[in-house]
Amino acid sequence: MRILRDDGEMPGKELYERAVAAGVPTRSKRHMKSLLHKMKSIERVKTTPPVSEDGKSGKGRRRGNYSYAITDRGVRHVDGLDRLVPAS
């Protein structure tokens, strides 16, 4: 979640690559998506759907990937963790 807080909204693949580079102990992209799904259910992150072929988000054929962004609640959570355990 620190990556999303610091770098902003990004697709799952890019988020996974940055997490691995930062040393986050995730086993695979599937594992990362599972973690993101859990964080979404407790309102720490939100998703933005891909844009459809007509340039609108909504119904119709969609191309691309969902993007993930941190919520205000997630920012408060990460800030609280940073006060307790500084990032390495």
Show the DSSP H helices in the chain as ranges: 2-7, 12-21, 29-41, 72-84
Domain positions in the chain are: 2-84
What fold does the segment set 2-84 form as a domain? Arc Repressor Mutant, subunit A (1.10.10)
pLDDT in tens, 1-13: 889 989 889 988 8
Q: What 3-state DSSP class applies to 36? A: helix
pLDDT in tens, 75-87: 999 999 888 986 5
Res. 52 pLDDT band, cuts 50 70 90: low
Whether 40 and 47 have beta carbons less than 8 Å apart is answered as yes
Res. 39 pLDDT band, cuts 50 70 90: very high
pLDDT in tens, 62-73: 567 889 999 999
Cα 53 from Cα 42, distance rounded (Å): 31
